[in-house]
Structure 1
Amino acid sequence: MPISEEWAGPAHGVICAYRFLDGAPQPLGPDFVPAAEPAGAWTWTHLRLSDVRARGKLTETPGLPAEALELFAEGEPRVQISQVDGWVIGALPDLQRDLAGRPGEEGRLVFAFDACRLITGRVYSLHAVDDLRRAVDKGQRLESPVHALVELVELYVGLIEGLLDDLGDELSGIEDYVLAKPQHPHETRLAAARREIARHRRELQALRSVLARAQAGRHGRRIDMLADAFVEGLAWMEDVDAEAAGLAERGRLLHEEMDTLINSATNRNMGALTVISTLLIPPTLITGAFGMNVPGLPFEHSRFGFVWASAVCVAVVGAALLLLRRMRVLG
């Protein structure tokens, strides 16, 4: 009976398991243990690492290195690929999938494979590996563990490219809004969009660097099983990274434009307050002088003292206004 994620995951820590014969997938039962396969065959076992029962499946796997067991047990925040005792182990970037199927925060897919076995595991539901699992359920052929790994990477890069396209459209909308010189330029999602672009680019660059080192073999880190497997993928990642860099630059320029608009609005407001303060200073002095409780003040005993004092204030304000216009302080 094939493994179903709905019941086999909670019961066994296994999300899915397949045997591939000449590339064609065949679902396997929950008691399957990854072992050596005949020529032309290989297996893929995908585990839910949040279930402690998944560790039992790992310890039952013959030949799995202790480093791989440790990686599956403890997880790894860094993107990495290494080779140990004929196995290739590591952690790939992916995006968590929420209940609505939308991509969310960064996640890690831990993996280990040799010539005929691929074991993957994740704590949270991940986007790319779930897409590959569903594609295999529909009959997608995978010729080898390396082919499956290439498909996982390409699904992830394609997902990032789509998200960057959406972010580019969002930046275009923000750009149109900002260039229209709005009253409240800070009321946009620019900060959130810039954060998402930086986050996706950081993950993509880490993956690109790891795969390039695995293929180039600098400092003895070449992995023969991955030789030339990611040539096209690395070129694609370079293009997507260049797109992300362009979006990051657009976001930075938009941020500077918004700062300019906000500073201009602040300067206009400060200018208006300065003019108002300048016009009110002379009447303040005059009313202060007339408010002194001393004898000999002008209009002290006049019936029209308040009128004359008010007229003096108005005249002084008018004179100050004419002076500001002559000095071109006012338009």
Structure 2
Amino acid sequence: MREHLKDLPPAALNLLLSVGDHQQLHADDACIYGVFADLVYRLEGLTDELGLLHFVATEKLLLTGRRDGLHSIEAVRQSLRSGQSPKSHTALLESILMQVTSGVEEKSEALSDELDIIEERLIVDLTDDIPKRLAKARRLTVRLHRLLSTQRSVIARFEQNVWRTTGKAHDLKTSHVSQRLDWLDHEMVALRDRAHLLQEEVSLRMTDQTNRNLQLLTIVTTVFLPAGVISSIFGMNVGGLPLEHDRSGFIVTMLLLVGASGLVFWILKRLGMLRR
């Protein structure tokens, strides 16, 4: 192992041991090295978190480094256990890159199902959990779209610069990975736009509900406004108030309050404001 590490270019070794978070893919006369992002895999399954895979591939060796368990590594490990054997270390790296896209595809299918559920529930009624679930789904579509776009540009730059190398380690076939990324990115853009439209509909529903609540509050305030005025008048601590010494003053006052509120309610009903 140490002999192979000595043969690695300084740039490849530094990138393998670095903590940078920028995705990149480089070809050297002796090896292929870079950093790729992937979905984090835990015991409970695929998560929404992103992790980084640092790797160096030579003709005889593939070195990887990561802080978290990644979906691509777990999928390749299971395929190796099932008996599948890649022809070379660059072929093994191709399998890892393809499994990166497989994880994103699996997550895109889950996002599509989640948006279907949200859309069906939104047609029936706007529940309290829909805005949070929709915001979470849209945030994930934005993150995955950014991930796929970066990987597409990284592979495009790699394909443009790989002809400058002369070693055999650059036999990495990226055309099928690039095609898969293009297709997935289009799907993710469609999911992102769909989530954006659903979020706009949720905003309109919430605005409409707020307007209805404000209208109801305005109607209630308007109906009881005359009653409040009459109560304020009879509540003034001054002399000469009508019905002050009349035993039936309370009943007469209550009749005035109810009558004034009823009159305002009838006027609003005739104007059609209660049907809006």
Unaligned runs of 5+ in 2: none
Match status 1:145 vs 2:114: no
Kept in 2: contact 1:109–1:120 (CA 8 A): yes
SS in 2 for 1:108: strand
Which residue, 75, 86, 99 being the options, matches 1:155? 99
Name the structure 2 match of 1:54.
none
Moved more, 178-187 or 136-145: 178-187
Q: Which has the higher helix share?
A: 2
Cα distance per residue 1:255-297 (max 9 Å; x no partner): 1111111111111111111111111111111111112233332
Alpha-carbon contact 1:97-1:104 (below 8 Å) kept: no
- CA distance in 2 between counterparts of 1:277 and 1:89 reads 70
Equivalent position of 1:176 in the other structure: 120
Does the 8 Å contact 2:73/2:96 carry over to 1?
yes
SS at match of 2:7: coil
Residues of 2 paired with 1:185 and 1:259: CA distance? Answer: 13
Identity of aligned residues (%): 31
What is the deviation of 1:121?
A: 2.3
Conserved? CA contact 1:65–1:85, under 8 Å: no
The normalised TM-score by structure 1 is 0.75
Question: Contact 2:32 / 2:57 at 8 angstroms: preserved in 1?
Answer: yes
Partner of 2:62: 118
The equivalent of 1:267 in structure 2 is 211
Task: Name the structure 2 match of 1:22.
Answer: none
Q: Which has the higher contact order (CA 8 A, sep 6+)?
A: 2
- In 1, the alpha carbon distance for the partners of 2:90 and 2:13 equals 20
Report runs of 4+ in structure 1 exceeding 4 Å deviation: 185-188, 220-228
| SS of equivalent residue, structure 2 residue 65 | strand
Q: Do the aligned partners of 1:95 and 1:106 also contact (CA within 8 Å) in 2?
A: yes
Separation in 1, partners of 2:62, 2:245 = 105
- 1:135 corresponds to which residue? 79
Q: What letter corresponds to residue 201 of structure 1 in structure 2?
A: H
Q: Which of 162, 175, 179 is residue 231 of structure 1 equivalent to?
A: 175
Partner of 1:327: 271
**Residues 187 and 259 of structure 1, relative CA distance in 2, 3 Å threshold:** closer
Write the letter of the residue equivalent to 1:118: L
Separation in structure 1 between the aligned mates of residue 42 and residue 48 of structure 2, nearest angstrom: 7
Partner of 2:30: 86
CA contact (8 A) 1:79 1:90 kept: yes
1:185 Cα offset (Å): 5.9
Alignment of 1:1-331 (within 5 A): 33=1, 57=2, 61-184=5-128, 186=130, 188-217=132-161, 226=170, 229-331=173-275
Residue correspondences, number: 273
The whole-number CA distance in structure 2 between the counterparts of 1:101 and 1:276 is: 53
Instruction: State which drifts further: 70-79 or 96-105.
Output: 96-105
Give the aligned residue type for 2:52. R
Q: Does the C-alpha gap of structure 1 residues 185 and 326 become closer, same or farther in structure 2, counting only changes over 3 Å?
A: farther
Whole-angstrom CA distance in 2 between matches of 1:85 and 1:147 = 17
Q: Is the 8 A contact 1:215 1:222 kept in 2?
A: no
Q: Offset of 1:70 from its aligned partner?
A: 1.4
How far did residue 241 of structure 1 move?
Answer: 0.7
Q: Give ranges in structure 1 of 5+ residues lacking alignment.
A: 1-32, 34-56
